[in-house]
Amino acid sequence: MSHPRARLDDTIHAPVRFSIMAALAAADEADFRFLRDTVEVSDSALSKQLSTLEGAGYVKVRKTFVGRRPRTFLGLTPHGREAFDRHVEALRDIAAGAGVTPPEPTADRPRPG
């Protein structure tokens, strides 16, 4: 049985990207400022991480205007949602200790000879 660590997604694994994915997983979409405040990062840091997630096909971007104000909405793609669910499942397995082979008992092991 392989360790669940092998199922962790490298793109999602970084803490800020994991937080972004967690925030977007709880919504259909969220605007940039709300996401920035929720994840507690700067505009530039959020933009950078979003580019990575968008490049991986995990996040979709929608730009619109509300009145005269431009707004950017972000949401997970179906692929991103699946990837996040898989990643969380792997984390749960690690937290539960799945895939960890218990050490063999040594004290009572019969000795050869």
Partner 1 sequence: MQREEALKALVAAQDITERVRRRGRWYAGYSAGFGAITVALVLVVGLWPSPAAVAVATPVALVGFAALTVYCLRQPMSPRRHAAVHLTSMAGWAAAYLATLVVGTTAFPGAVWWWVPGALVCALPPFAAALYTLARTAEPRA
Residues engaged in binding partner 1 (CB under 8 A): 5, 8, 15, 18-19, 22-31, 33-34, 38-39, 66, 88, 91-92, 94-95, 97
Question: What span, in angstroms and rounded, lies between the C-alpha atoms of 86 and 33?
Answer: 27
Nearer to partner 1, 95 or 107 (CB): 95
Nearer to partner 1, 65 or 107 (CB): 65
Nearer to partner 1, 36 or 54 (CB): 36
Smallest gap from residue 87 Cβ to partner 1 (A) = 9
Smallest gap from residue 44 Cβ to partner 1 (A) = 20
Using alpha carbons only, give the angle 50, 51, 55 rounded to the nearest 5 degrees: 115
- The 10 Å Cβ neighbour count of residue 44 is 8
Smallest gap from residue 112 Cβ to partner 1 (A) = 35
Across 61-91, b (16+ Cβ under 10 Å) vs e yields eeeeeeeeeeebbbbbbeebeebbeebbebb
